[in-house]
Copies of this chain bind each other. A is one copy, B any other.
Amino acid sequence: MTQWVYAFGEGKADGNAAMKDLLGGKGANLAEMSALGLPVPPGFTLTTDACNYFTSHDDTYPDGFRDDVAAALKAVEKNLGLNFGDPDNVLLVSVRSGSRASMPGMMDTVLNLGLNDDTVAGLASASGDERFAYDSYRRFIQMYGDVVLGVEHHNFEDILADAKDKLGVELDTELTAENWRDVIEDYMEMVEGELGRPFPQDPEEQLWGAIDAVFKSWMNRRARTYRKLHDIPEDWGTAVNVQAMVFGNMGDDCATGVAFTRDPASGENAYYGEYLINAQGEDVVAGIRTPQSLTIREREMGGSKLPSMEETMPDAFAELLAVRARLEKHYKDMQDMEFTVQQGRLWMLQTRTGKRTTKAAIKIAVDMVAEDLIDISEAIMRIDPGQLDQILHPTLDPAAERELLGKGLPASPGAASGRMVFNSDDAEEWTGRGEKVILVRIETSPEDIGGMHVAKGILTTRGGMTSHAAVVARGMGTPCVSGAGTLKVDYTDKTMTVMGEVLGEGDLITIDGTSGEVMKGAVATIQPDLSDDFDTLMGWVDDTRTIGVRANAETPTDAATAREFGAEGIGLCRTEHMFFDSERIIHVRQMIIADTPESRAKALDALLPYQRKDFTDLFEIMDGLPVTIRLLDPPLHEFLPSSESDMADVAKAAGVTVDVVKARAAQLHEFNPMLGHRGCRLGLTYPDIYEMQARAIFEATADAVKAGRTVMPEVMVPLVALEAEFTVLKNVIDRTAKQVEKEHDVTLDYSVGTMIELPRAALRAADIAKHAEFFSFGTNDLTQTALGLSRDDAGAFIQIYREQGVLEKDPFVSIDTEGVGELVRIAIERGRTSRPDIKLGICGEHGGDPASVKFFHDSGLDYVSCSPYRVPIARLAAAQAALA
């Protein structure tokens, strides 16, 4: 026979912590604590199965259900020596919902159930406090009237306000027992007027009303909408917990508090918590009274004058200390508990896994391994990879004052202060004079790269999480706030206006790319300090994971950072980033303006030594590790100047008129540059560009080999859609390699592969793999093309999509496993049919997203590549994927 009711309390329980599906999170943990022998007020849980029965049987209960509940209630009465509805010996209960997942929108809690005109008197005499009793009663009427009976909240508020008006008082605390009695009378009258029947005086009727209300609330509109948005199945149902009330506010031998078994900020293995004497749970949370420390240690560290619980209630504290030891040993994790002391006796009301900072999470995990509480795998699984970002970047000093100017999107984590500049040139100039700057733009473009490189932080008023500014900033590890729409930027005046206040060039601001906040002035920041615990953890991580982690990097700084953070090579070196350097851009532009192969050759010859030097530097830093170099990818118009003066410079250098430059720019204009003349299409139409790049790579390789370094360049052709695109360009690359081998008398160890970033390439992977030695999935472009969604333009509607539940996650942040993911799987499967040992990696933004890393691990890729600052995140995510 189905068991619908699970009792707990008195050192035993029908359920346990593993039964969350049936008893909900709260019910399961109450049962677990009871069974552990901890002092839990007795009660019982009505199962989620009962909820499902109720829902599917026109709001009725299974046979015998009411008898089971009555029996369970009897057991509670017997356990406590109290009786439900007995004025002389009154048992009050709380009724709480509790589903498998925490879920707003459902009925939450009714306290003090069982009070009526008779029992309230009993509570008054039992507590010796009449005011307490009537205050409790009116609270119950209000709560029950609102959530169970459906009387609108404002009806109660109005009565209370009138009463206070009449009495000439302002605070609820000023009302006496007598006053509350009057209010209760008015409440009762009003409820009867609203409902056409009196407020239920029968405790049993009250109980069933509350239980019905919880079960019904599972199907109300808000709950249904929430479930749809969060993919929670309807048939999970909710449980109902009925539990004897205990009171922390019956006098000075009463208290209530919360405690963490370890310090949730530092992770220190020490009790940490707060309590209040003669108070209810809400009072601690509400912050009306200043809570006191749990321990002497805490009190001393905090410099508080208020005595700790260790001092004021040594017996209850000792009991609590025993509970702590018991719970940690049992749950093997840091716990967050709620407790109440009623007339000297400790009652545990809740325990759950405690939230903690990343720093604390790491310390606790590492400590618990040392304490033999958990093993290394468990320690690894304990850390949320996404949270690691917190400790890898500078953060705002929590103690510092801050004056908020506005808020945008947390586009690239970390905090930074600096003087505002409004364009890239100014950023470089100000930095040149030793100033720290924040680059403020409406939006950024590749032309701004110079300024973005030197700026301490980047702020844009337009663009989303995957705008140019956001992507580039994350790649460089520079803090960035994007899309701060309430700030108005004027490039001409070089001002930023916030609610009427105008800030100008040179004014100090601070941005927090972790929260999206923009603040006035310089707010103090704290530099990241990676602990020994971090190193320990990452050591375990590397021993555990099976998928490699590389970094996307092109500058020596980024490459060095990447290696420090544990990158095992470069998975994406974007050669075009090297083109924007101020010394070089003029040659790049000359190359583009060139109208004969000869003049283009001249410009390319000028670029060759720069590009070779880039690779020489990279190869030195990445000695012994593979470096994947992507040949020129963006459309040429991205390199052309937009300002008249820059155009004049280019015209002069190229020996043509400004009109020629403008005409060339107009000619290169594209309607959809993302789908335009870029990637390998450039290589096929201007093979000399790719040839120059290949030469630079191979000459640098030859030099490095002669210098005794181990270099493994992987030359990567972007945006391939057709087998022939790849074969033609592979020929160009191989031919150049042969020439360099001959010129330098060395043997070059290199491979040639391609990006898989177009749906067609994924589908035709078998053809392409006949020639390509590796694939690197460009999941940014693959997402753009598979979904027909421009990363730069999606901001206009993607938020609405997420609000409507049409899209769960931003597909540019976490890979769309169903669509884009299927293309990845298809490409892997087909690629391997022609080349079983083909090397497979991914170098899109998704390489640093934990959920995506799991997908790539499961798909069997050899490595992921992400921005240097996300390398530790990817390593951890990879280890977790291996353990999952």
Interface residues, chain A, with chain B CB atoms under 8 Å away: 670-677, 681, 684-685, 719, 721-722, 724-725, 728, 757-760, 763-764, 781, 784-790, 792-794, 796-797, 800-801, 804-807, 816, 818-820, 822-823
Point out the residues of chain B lying under 8 angstroms from A784, CB to CB.
672, 675
Given that A786-B758, A788-B719, A797-B684 are contacting pairs, would A805 and B724 also be in contact in the complex, using a CB cutoff of 8 Å?
yes
Given that A671-B793, A759-B819 are contacting pairs, would A804 and B721 also be in contact in the complex, using a CB cutoff of 8 Å?
no
Given that A675-B788, A788-B675, A788-B719 are contacting pairs, would A806 and B684 also be in contact in the complex, using a CB cutoff of 8 Å?
yes
Given that A784-B675, A793-B670 are contacting pairs, would A725 and B818 also be in contact in the complex, using a CB cutoff of 8 Å?
no
Least CB separation from A719: chain B residue: B788
Chain B proximity of A720: nearest CB distance (Å): 10
Q: Is the CB of B676 within 8 A of A807?
A: no
Point out the residues of chain B lying under 8 angstroms from A793, CB to CB.
670-673, 675-677
Chain B proximity of A87: nearest CB distance (Å): 55
Given that A724-B805, A797-B677, A806-B728 are contacting pairs, would A790 and B760 also be in contact in the complex, using a CB cutoff of 8 Å?
no
Point out the residues of chain B lying under 8 angstroms from A719, CB to CB.
788
Given that A684-B806, A724-B807, A807-B722 are contacting pairs, would A786 and B785 also be in contact in the complex, using a CB cutoff of 8 Å?
yes
Q: How far, in whole Å, are A804 and B686 apart by their CA atoms in the complex?
A: 13
Point out the residues of chain B lying under 8 angstroms from A816, CB to CB.
760
Least CB separation from A445: chain B residue: B671
- Looking at A764, A792, A806, the one whose CB has the most chain B CB atoms below 10 A away is A806
Taking A672-B672, A684-B800, A724-B807 as known contacts, 14 extra A-B pairs with beta carbons closer than 8 A to each other, sorted by chain A number, are: A670-B793, A671-B793, A672-B784, A672-B793, A674-B675, A675-B675, A675-B790, A685-B800, A719-B788, A759-B785, A759-B786, A763-B819, A764-B818, A785-B788
Number of copies: 2
Q: How far, in whole Å, are A684 and B794 apart by their CA atoms in the complex?
A: 13
Chain B proximity of A465: nearest CB distance (Å): 16
Given that A759-B819, A760-B816, A804-B684 are contacting pairs, would A676 and B721 also be in contact in the complex, using a CB cutoff of 8 Å?
no
Chain B proximity of A668: nearest CB distance (Å): 8
Q: Is the CB of A797 within 8 A of B671?
A: no
Point out the residues of chain B lying under 8 angstroms from A819, CB to CB.
721, 759-760, 763-764
Least CB separation from A788: chain B residue: B758
Given that A684-B801, A684-B804, A759-B786 are contacting pairs, would A674 and B672 also be in contact in the complex, using a CB cutoff of 8 Å?
yes
Given that A797-B684, A801-B684, A806-B684 are contacting pairs, would A790 and B670 also be in contact in the complex, using a CB cutoff of 8 Å?
yes
Chain B proximity of A487: nearest CB distance (Å): 16
Contact of A673 among B672, B677, B801 (CB under 8 A): B672
Point out the residues of chain B lying under 8 angstroms from A805, CB to CB.
724
Point out the residues of chain B lying under 8 angstroms from A820, CB to CB.
760
Q: How far, in whole Å, are A805 and B724 apart by their CA atoms in the complex?
A: 8
Given that A672-B674, A724-B806 are contacting pairs, would A786 and B801 also be in contact in the complex, using a CB cutoff of 8 Å?
no
Chain B proximity of A834: nearest CB distance (Å): 15
Least CB separation from A800: chain B residue: B685
Q: Is the CB of A677 within 8 A of B796?
A: yes
Given that A797-B681, A823-B763 are contacting pairs, would A672 and B785 also be in contact in the complex, using a CB cutoff of 8 Å?
no
Q: Is the CB of B721 within 8 A of A675?
A: no
Q: How far, in whole Å, are A797 and B670 apart by their CA atoms in the complex?
A: 12
Chain B proximity of A640: nearest CB distance (Å): 15
Point out the residues of chain B lying under 8 angstroms from A728, CB to CB.
804, 806
Chain B proximity of A94: nearest CB distance (Å): 39
Chain B proximity of A222: nearest CB distance (Å): 19
Q: Is the CB of A823 within 8 A of B790?
A: no
- Looking at A670, A789, A807, the one whose CB has the most chain B CB atoms below 10 A away is A789
Point out the residues of chain B lying under 8 angstroms from A673, CB to CB.
671-672, 793
Contact of A792 among B671, B684, B764, B801 (CB under 8 A): B671
Q: Is the CB of A789 within 8 A of B675?
A: yes
Given that A671-B790, A758-B787, A788-B721 are contacting pairs, would A676 and B800 also be in contact in the complex, using a CB cutoff of 8 Å?
no
Q: How far, in whole Å, are A721 and B818 apart by their CA atoms in the complex?
A: 11
Q: How far, in whole Å, are A677 and B820 apart by their CA atoms in the complex?
A: 20
- Looking at A757, A785, A792, A800, the one whose CB has the most chain B CB atoms below 10 A away is A785
Chain B proximity of A630: nearest CB distance (Å): 15
Q: How far, in whole Å, are A794 and B781 apart by their CA atoms in the complex?
A: 17
Q: How far, in whole Å, are A619 and B731 apart by their CA atoms in the complex?
A: 58
Given that A684-B797, A760-B819, A787-B721 are contacting pairs, would A672 and B792 also be in contact in the complex, using a CB cutoff of 8 Å?
yes
Point out the residues of chain B lying under 8 angstroms from A684, CB to CB.
797, 800-801, 804, 806
Chain B proximity of A755: nearest CB distance (Å): 11
Point out the residues of chain B lying under 8 angstroms from A786, CB to CB.
721, 758-760, 763, 785
Q: Is the CB of A722 within 8 A of B806?
A: yes
Q: How far, in whole Å, are A771 and B445 apart by their CA atoms in the complex?
A: 41
Q: Is the CB of A685 within 8 A of B785?
A: no
Point out the residues of chain B lying under 8 angstroms from A760, CB to CB.
786-788, 816, 818-820
Point out the residues of chain B lying under 8 angstroms from A759, CB to CB.
759, 785-788, 819, 823
- Looking at A722, A725, A757, A800, the one whose CB has the most chain B CB atoms below 10 A away is A722
Q: Is the CB of A676 within 8 A of B763?
A: no
Chain B proximity of A585: nearest CB distance (Å): 21
Q: Is the CB of A796 within 8 A of B676?
A: yes
Least CB separation from A682: chain B residue: B797
Q: Is the CB of A725 within 8 A of B763?
A: no
Chain B proximity of A224: nearest CB distance (Å): 15
Chain B proximity of A588: nearest CB distance (Å): 18
Point out the residues of chain B lying under 8 angstroms from A677, CB to CB.
793, 796-797
Q: How far, in whole Å, are A757 and B759 apart by their CA atoms in the complex?
A: 13
Point out the residues of chain B lying under 8 angstroms from A672, CB to CB.
672-675, 784, 790, 792-793
- Looking at A673, A781, A787, the one whose CB has the most chain B CB atoms below 10 A away is A787
Chain B proximity of A763: nearest CB distance (Å): 5
